[in-house]
Structure 1
């Protein structure tokens, strides 16, 4: 069962909350639904969100499928592969991010060209 539904340029994805950053997760959940026009940085999409949370358990190297909040710019990030900051194939943020969820299947994101419209909301079937 998923916790979140993500729509990226019409592609439907699901994600599950993680417990790594509970304060950030609570702030993101309270702000849902979130939507915006994303920018792409390697295999990462990011868009502005109306959330202001400090670094909690921040890290730069994240797993494929990580949904993370970047306190340095108040943006939500979706990672599915290497970024310009990566060392090898692992996704890597420009500076520490707070991971809040993990996308179940990122394969549809490889089809995204450039930026994309993104919407994140609670999964109505949860």
Structure 2
């Protein structure tokens, strides 16, 4: 069973926590449910949160389906394809992010146009 349910403009996704970034993951888990009006940047959605944590491990290139914390913006990001920073088709963040979860199936996100309302909660 998935650990998280992510609703993006009515599209329901499931995700599981990663093993990396335990402190960041725990801070996000403690703040659930999270919701916001997300902005879109290529095939990435992000929304600001009240979470302020310093991740141990960050990266700019992330796997498809990554749910990540962006420390510079105190934001949660959801990646499902290339962004303006990508060199090929890989998702690439504008600045380092800490991956905390992975979405099982990102195909419903292909229908999203522009920004979106997002809610992340325990499954």
Give the TM-score category using the shorter length.
over 0.9
TM-score when normalising by structure 1: 0.96
Q: Within 1, Cα distance between the matches of 2:56 and 2:15?
A: 21
Q: Deviations over 1:92-123 (max 9, x none)?
A: 00011000000000000010000000000000
Q: Deviations over 1:35-69 (max 9, x none)?
A: 00000000000001110011320000000000000
Q: Within 2, Cα distance between the matches of 1:69 and 1:100?
A: 7
Q: Which residue of 2 aligns with 1:98?
A: 98
TM-score when normalising by structure 2: 0.99
Unaligned runs of 5+ in 2: none
Q: Within 2, Cα distance between the matches of 1:52 and 1:109?
A: 27
4+ runs of 1 displaced by more than 6 Å?
none
Aligned residues: 123
The alignment yields a C-alpha RMSD, in angstroms, of 0.5
Q: Which residue of 2 aligns with 1:83?
A: 83
Q: Within 2, Cα distance between the matches of 1:55 and 1:66?
A: 15
Q: Which residue of 1 aligns with 2:58?
A: 58
- 1:20 positional shift: 1.1
Q: Within 2, Cα distance between the matches of 1:91 and 1:53?
A: 23
